[in-house]
Amino acid sequence: MSLPLEGIRILDLSMYLPGPFCTQILADFGAEVIKIEELSGEWGRKLYPVIGDKSAIFYAVNRGKKSVAINLKSETGKEIFLRLAQHADVIVEQFRPGVMERLGLGYETLSKINPRLIYCSISGYGHSGPLQYAAGHDLNYLSLAGVTSLTGTRNQPGMSGVQIADIAGGSLQAVSAILLALLAREKIGRGQYCDIAMLDGAISLLAYSLAEWSGLGRLPLCNGEFITGGYACYQIYATADGKYVSLGAVEAKFWQRFCERIGRPEYIPYQWDSTRQEEILADIRAIMAGRTQQEWVDYFADEDICFTPVLNLEEMIQHPQVRDRNMVIIMEDVQGSGKNMVLTGCAIKLSHTPAVVKPVFPEIGEHTEAILQEIGYSREEIIRWKEEKILA
């Protein structure tokens, strides 16, 4: 079976989460992803916690890749990278603006030696604007984007337990940009520069929220609006065993059936009456606290009303829907450590060319010699450069 990205070579200089997760998705669909690492390895290899001799975080986003370790601060290292770039389709980097240019490895330089090269930069704020050189992390991007103000309970912004800006704003936007640029290359005959900002990506997630704000004529700042806990029909309820269930009965038919099933048909006309929500919420909370989570799941099992348990990660990976979709991969007894590693599967499902997930992870510089010999360097040169600390 031929995968969609077979024959596409990607040089990945990124670290931690946004870039590596992007290139992992591309690797799942056949791209040859070569991690270009420092001699001591990508910084993500050292993050806590560790399973075996690798960071659990590194396992999460680096499957199916190769590794070439180069000292890019040396002149020889830069020359080696330039030759690698001549044989590449895509470069992904995640440094702050200006870093690659100072190394002499920016898009303008590389596009001259390889006009078909697609060069994707992932950064917090993009390569323009007053914040382009500023440091930041997921919380900062979400806060500036307005997402944090919408995420929480009444009048109190909440911190997300998932890296929304990093993944949805960075990784997934970068995947889209690279695939679009590859498609465009077939039409225009050359590559292009992709400028991906995690702040931009986070703002793009606000399509519905901005529309709601425009329609309401006021800011929905964690103050009990529709999606932030203000209405009984779209709510999280505690159960008798200290667990939770979620109700997303937005449509009238779902709300009607829910009210009937809990013995409160009198609440049906007041689904969107903001003056009645405090009263309705208090009563339904008391009702839901009368049974355990599983008892409620069983009670509503035959009802199509958008009702689900709130699962923790241990429960999620065992759920039959998750297992059926191959959305978790369990590596047992990693490196004889006695610990299992749980990885995400590939969320993109294609009927004829599905992803091939290979839970194989490169050692630092594992493929340096093979790849450099492939592009014309001799074994003697490679051995000498290793001794000179240009390669690892």
Question: Residue 154's pLDDT is what?
Answer: 63
pLDDT score of 387 = 96
Query: Any catalytic annotation for residue 28?
Result: no
User: What pLDDT score does 224 carry?
Assistant: 59
Q: One fold for both 9-205+328-387 and 226-238+244-309?
A: no
Q: Which fold does the domain 226-238+244-309 belong to in CATH?
A: formyl-coa transferase, domain 3 (3.30.1540)
The one catalytic residue in 28, 89, 166, 200 is: 166
CATH number of 9-205+328-387: 3.40.50.10540
Band (219; pLDDT cuts 50, 70, 90): low
Residue-range domain boundaries for the chain = 9-205+328-387, 226-238+244-309
Residue-level pLDDT at 212: 76
The pLDDT value recorded for residue 214 is 84
Q: Which residues contact 217 (CB under 8 A, 6 or more apart)?
A: none
Other CB atoms within a 10 A radius of the CB of residue 112 amount to 9
pLDDT of 92: 98
352 catalytic per annotation: no
Examine the pLDDT at 289 and tell me if it is beyond 70. yes
Of the residues 53, 137, 241, 298, which is catalytic?
Answer: 137
Residue range 11-34: average pLDDT? Answer: 98
What is the share, in percent, of the chain residues with pLDDT greater than 70?
Answer: 97
Cα 290 to Cα 296: distance, rounded to the nearest angstrom: 9
Q: How confident is the model over 296-309, as pLDDT tens digits?
A: 999 999 999 999 99
* Whether the predicted pLDDT of 221 surpasses 60: no
**Angle 298-299-305 from CA coordinates, rounded to 5°:** 100
Query: According to the model, what pLDDT value does residue 288 have?
Result: 98
Question: Residue for token digits 């390889």?
Answer: 114
Task: State the pLDDT confidence band at 124, using cuts at 50, 70 and 90.
Answer: very high
Tokens of 59: 């396992």
> What average pLDDT does range 28-33 have in this prediction?
98
Quick one: pLDDT at residue 218? 64
- Model confidence at 130, pLDDT cuts 50, 70, 90, reads very high
Instruction: State both tokens at 364.
Output: 């630092």
